[in-house]
Amino acid sequence: MSEKMIYAMSTKESLSIDHFNEIFRMLYMPVNVDTEESVYNIDPRPYFIRLLDSLGYCEFDFDRRMVHMCPPGLALLPSYGLPRAVLTGMRSPRLVRNLKISVRKRREKALLSFLSQGNRVINMPPSICIEAADNQILQEIANELKIDFYKEGPASWRLANFSSSIDEVKRSLVFEKRDEPGWKRRVFMKTMLFFSKKEEESEEGQTLVEYTNPIDKQLRHWLWNGAESAEVERDWGRYLSLADSGLNILLYDRKLCRMAVPITVPLPCILARTIVMCSGIAPALARTPLKRLGDIPPGCHVQIYSGVTSAIASLISEKLGQKLILISFKMIKW
């Protein structure tokens, strides 16, 4: 599937979700059809959508059922030494060709590399990374290609600082007494980290409930605090309910600068982009061992992000009301 998907999407500023679905269906082929079931039990389309969003290719607006492509630009990675930037946003074969030419012209001072994605569930296009002697070279390249260069600092750092914190999100919620709609519902099980229909299992603290509109199948999420509830965004809702119960689920290896996040509890949008922009590539997938790590259930599927420096890891965990579980990834038998 690789670049064809991005090229097809990049011919317009915006496309409908239906058009995106058609293109995806035409191009997506599972890695191994014979096994049918993905080892990680991931639905590829929504997973691909999250990856595209967090890699900065586009913005998905599910309310209006549109996909908006982001303009192309060079975004700095958090690096020590020479500046490194990845190409984000839409692209065309011509842009990539011109980028190669532009870098080649400056071969003494700039280097282009294609970072292969470690993710085996979806065949993502490789990330295009430029390492340069200094920011001025990157600016020259961006000017030549008529694209932006976001030079104010590493994109992940700026995004992490820009993102709301869990306290800010909490303050913005409007709790009021309301009746549950008579819709299909599922509850977010904090100990298992997924939504479940089972009613008899109840957990303490705030409860996140998902409701499905029977007409348009859109999901709504309410965070219940006793008899009152507030409508909340799904990803933030999960972390709010975890923080309320003091449950910690982010694994961090300080030495390797890697963070593992359970796949069923993805980071809210801006922070998801933050963590991916630490390396510019999609996370790898793994499974935790058959023992509990922090409050992560045994054998949990996780996404492992690289290049997450301790400053950024701390900021992410702070924003989510999480305490990092410090472990050595090398000691874990994934």
Which residues from 268-297 bind other proteins, rule CB under 8 A? 268-270, 273, 277
* Among the listed residues 171, 177, 217, 333, the single contact to other proteins using CB under 8 A: 217
Q: Does 29 interact with other proteins (rule: CB under 8 A)?
A: yes
Phi, psi dihedrals of residue 228, rounded to the nearest 5°: -105, 155
224 or 305: CB nearest other proteins: 305
Q: Does 162 interact with other proteins (rule: CB under 8 A)?
A: yes
Specify the DSSP element, H or E, that contains 286: strand 284-287
* Among the listed residues 215, 227, 290, 331, the single contact to other proteins using CB under 8 A: 215
Q: What is the CA radius of gyration of the chain?
A: 21
Strands in 251-253's sheet, in edge-to-edge order, are: 284-287, 301-305, 258-262, 251-253, 325-326
Cβ-contact 83, 280 below 8 angstroms: no
Q: Does 256 interact with other proteins (rule: CB under 8 A)?
A: yes
- Could you tell me which of 205, 202, 302 has the C-alpha nearest to residue 250? 302
Q: Which stretch binds other proteins (CB under 8 A): 3-11, 120-128, 238-246, 281-289?
A: 3-11
Q: How many residues bind other proteins (CB under 8 A)?
A: 99
Phi, psi dihedrals of residue 214, rounded to the nearest 5°: -70, -20
For the CB of residue 29, give the shortest distance to other proteins in the complex, in Å: 5
* Among the listed residues 65, 104, 184, 292, the single contact to other proteins using CB under 8 A: 184
Q: How far is CA 138 from the centre of its chain?
A: 26
114 or 162: CB nearest other proteins: 162
Question: How long is the chain?
Answer: 334
DSSP helix/strand/coil, 179: coil
Site for other proteins in 30-69 (CB under 8 A): 30, 33-34, 36-37, 43, 45-46, 56-59, 61, 63, 68
Q: Which stretch binds other proteins (CB under 8 A): 73-81, 117-125, 200-208, 281-289?
A: 73-81
Q: Does 27 interact with other proteins (rule: CB under 8 A)?
A: yes
Cβ-contact 231, 280 below 8 angstroms: no
Q: Does 108 interact with other proteins (rule: CB under 8 A)?
A: yes
Q: Which stretch binds other proteins (CB under 8 A): 71-79, 121-129, 223-231, 288-296?
A: 71-79
* Among the listed residues 104, 116, 120, 168, the single contact to other proteins using CB under 8 A: 168
- d(Cα 206, Cα 322) in Å, to the nearest integer? 16
DSSP helix/strand/coil, 245: coil
For the CB of residue 237, give the shortest distance to other proteins in the complex, in Å: 12
- In this structure, the number of other CB atoms found within 10 A of the CB of residue 268 comes to 21
